[in-house]
Amino acid sequence: MVRTKSNTEEQSNQSDAVSFESALERLEEITDQLENGELGLDDSLKTYTEGIALARRCNQQLTLAEEKVAKLLSADGTLTDFSINESEGKSGQ
């Protein structure tokens, strides 16, 4: 039996490849569409689901950026080198 991807899985995979700026721009479009009532119920639900996936991705990207900045700054405010691979390995645990 062949398993097909759901719309949510496809949107999640698409949002993984989207830059932070592009995701934020799309979220603004989604917000405008939902606030203006331009969409029917089914389209509103699909668009809302897309927005949630993008918002989660943006939040994840911001969290990773904050962690990297925190590692760059030492306690006395000076910059400290760190390995990006080291940072990614710890966040995956």
Could you tell me the mean pLDDT of each successive run of 10 residues in the chain, 93 residues long? 50 62 95 92 96 95 88 69 57 46
pTM score, two decimals? 0.60
Instruction: State the pLDDT at residue 69.
Output: 83
d(CA 51, CA 24): 10
Instruction: State the pLDDT at residue 24.
Output: 94
Closest CA to 61 of 11, 7, 6, 22: 22
d(CA 38, CA 77): 49
- List the domain boundaries for the chain: 7-91
Instruction: State the pLDDT at residue 72.
Output: 79
Instruction: State the pLDDT at residue 18.
Output: 74
d(CA 18, CA 31): 18
Amino acid at residue number 79 = L
- In this structure, the dihedral spanned by the alpha carbons of residues 45, 51, 52 and 56, taken in order and rounded to 10 degrees, is 170
